[in-house]
């Protein structure tokens, strides 16, 4: 699975270039189907060429593409101008989405992600806004956690939100499993996570330990 | 007879060039070829086989040196591509054994071909992340992120 996902996203090949070029001659509504397979600069070009308004499905795909692009090794390794191009394009696209659909949680989360990456002073507020518009979404909460834990200089308000997200995630089996996977993958985050878990009721602590055992078994 | 063998060898070398694995003197001319070389080096070094030592780093230098000569304007995205390919060779399943391979060195070498100091810094951070065996920790390495995305969304 990892290999397949990595290939889809991380490897530049002549085929992908040709494919991405071909997308420009496809009808706009078809382009979003392929966004997840493109590399960040290609995503930027495709987003710039998209017709508005997008369908709900296309909006989700665009937000997903930006989120994955900004999390990718390729984006981290890109030169500054191309990196900025991706940031600008995703920010414009997500601003459009949240302008039209203020409750679009995934788009709001990408705006927060951009804020954290660029070290914006509003990063904490953007994360908080993302939590406000999607209060009950486990996967968005996990992603918000990923954005926060990847940051080397998290604002104080974002750190508080991180603790709140962890507590909310500990309350559900899906959240516990997501936390357990991150506990195993990120030793630095594991320490922060344990500090929060230590304050949780005993049954929650036990459930979290069980989730870790389950995740270990799946590895 | 010896002359015939020489001609045959020369012909074979010209007809089937650039198997960089078997011919350490030949630099990979494509990113795919470089990835193949580094993949083999990684597998060998995990098994404590040192017979291919240096080929990944050497191939990285050779490939990017070639790009610098033929298409210097494209070097930064090529460096990013090479870095990504090398980083993706580091799989979590083998735990920290992979950080002992020369892949982080090859990534560091790749960074030196970029003229963008911020890109260099970010790529070095990727190499450091691998060397520290903190693959799931930072946004520099997205392997765990990809897995988490798959798990969280039920993919």
| Shortest Cα distance, chain B CAs vs residue A180, angstroms | 11
Percent helix, strand, coil in chain B, to 5, is 70, 0, 30
Chain B residues in contact with A77 by the CB 8 A cut-off are 79-80, 83-84, 87, 119, 122-123, 126
In terms of phi and psi (left: phi > 0; alpha: psi -120 to 50; beta: otherwise), the region of B18 is left
Contact A69, A62 (CB under 8 A): no
Contact A44, A85 (CB under 8 A): yes
Worst-scoring range by mean pLDDT, A12-21, A27-36, A103-112?
Answer: A12-21
Chain A residues in contact with B127 by the CB 8 A cut-off are none
pLDDT at B147 over 70: no
Kindly report, residue by residue over A97-147, the tens digit of the pLDDT: 998 888 899 999 999 999 999 989 888 899 999 899 888 889 999 999 988
3-state SS, residue B30: coil
Q: How far apart are CA A64 and CA A62, in angstroms?
A: 5
pLDDT at A17 over 50: no
| Shortest Cα distance, chain B CAs vs residue A117, angstroms | 9
Tokens of A189: 């985050």
Whether B70 contacts chain A with CB within 8 A: no
Please give the mean pLDDT across all residues of chain B: 76
Kindly report, residue by residue over B92-112, the tens digit of the pLDDT: 555 666 667 899 999 999 999
Task: Name the DSSP class of B47.
Answer: T
User: DSSP alpha helices (H): ranges in chain A?
Assistant: 2-10, 14-23, 28-31, 40-48, 56-71, 73-77, 80-100, 105-118, 123-133, 138-150, 156-170, 173-185, 187-197, 202-218
Whether B128 contacts chain A with CB within 8 A: no
Between B135 and B82, the higher pLDDT residue: B82
Q: How far apart are CA B98 and CA A141, in angstroms?
A: 32
Kindly report, residue by residue over B23-74, the tens digit of the pLDDT: 556 778 999 999 999 999 988 988 889 999 999 999 999 999 999 999 999 9
User: DSSP alpha helices (H): ranges in B16-116?
Assistant: 31-46, 55-70, 75-88, 103-111
Contact A32, A56 (CB under 8 A): no
DSSP string computed for A55-92: PHHHHHHHHHHHHHHHHSHHHHHS-HHHHHHHHHHHHH
Q: How far apart are CA B79 and CA B85, in angstroms?
A: 10
| Shortest Cα distance, chain A CAs vs residue B8, angstroms | 34
Kindly report, residue by residue over A191-215, the tens digit of the pLDDT: 889 999 999 999 999 999 999 999 8
At residue B113, the pLDDT reads 97
Q: How far apart are CA A107 and CA A65, in angstroms?
A: 10
ipTM value for the complex: 0.71
Q: How far apart are CA A175 and CA A138, in angstroms?
A: 6
Q: For residue A9, which of A28, A34, A44, A31 has the smallest C-alpha distance? A: A34
Q: Can you tell me the mean pLDDT for A183-194?
A: 86
Q: How far apart are CA B128 and CA B132, in angstroms?
A: 6
Tokens of B96: 């920290």
Q: Can you tell me the mean pLDDT for B116-142?
A: 77
């Amino acid at each position: 699975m990892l290999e397949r996902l990595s290939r889809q996203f991380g490897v530049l090949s002549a085929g992908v270039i040709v494919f991405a070029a071909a997308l420009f001659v496809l009808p706009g509504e078809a382009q979003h189907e392929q966004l997840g397979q493109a590399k960040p600069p290609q995503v930027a070009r495709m987003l710039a060429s998209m017709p508005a308004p997008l369908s709900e499905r296309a909006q989700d795909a665009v937000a997903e593409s930006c989120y994955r692009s900004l999390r990718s090794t390729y984006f981290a390794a890109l030169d500054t101008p191309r990196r900025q191009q991706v940031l600008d394009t995703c920010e414009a696209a997500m601003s459009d989405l949240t302008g039209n659909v203020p409750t679009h949680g995934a788009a709001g989360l990408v705006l927060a992600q951009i804020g954290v990456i660029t070290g914006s002073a509003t990063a904490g507020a953007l994360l908080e806004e993302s939590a406000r518009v999607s209060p009950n979404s486990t996967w968005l909460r996990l992603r918000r956690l990923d954005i926060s834990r990847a940051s080397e200089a998290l604002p104080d308000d974002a750190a508080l939100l991180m603790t709140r997200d962890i507590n909310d995630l500990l309350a559900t089996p899906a959240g516990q499993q997501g936390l357990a996977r991150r506990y195993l993958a990120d030793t630095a985050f594991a320490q922060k996570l344990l500090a929060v878990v230590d304050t949780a009721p005993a049954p929650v602590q036990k459930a979290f330990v069980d989730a870790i055992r389950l995740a270990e078994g799946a590895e | 007879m010896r002359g015939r063998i020489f001609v045959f060898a020369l012909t074979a070398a010209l007809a089937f060039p650039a198997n960089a694995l078997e011919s350490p003197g030949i630099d990979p001319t494509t990113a795919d070829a470089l990835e193949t070389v580094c993949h083999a080096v990684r597998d060998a070094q995990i098994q404590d086989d040192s017979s291919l030592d240096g080929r990944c780093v050497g191939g990285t230098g050779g490939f990017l040196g070639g790009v610098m000569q033929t298409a210097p304007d494209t070097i930064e995205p090529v460096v990013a591509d090479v870095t990504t390919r090398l980083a993706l060779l580091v799989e979590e399943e083998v735990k920290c054994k992979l950080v002992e391979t020369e892949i982080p060195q090859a990534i560091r070498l790749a960074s030196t071909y970029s003229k963008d100091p911020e890109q260099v810094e970010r790529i070095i951070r990727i190499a450091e992340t691998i060397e520290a065996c903190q693959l799931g920790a930072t946004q520099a390495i997205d392997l765990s992120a990809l897995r988490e995305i798959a798990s969280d969304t039920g993919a």
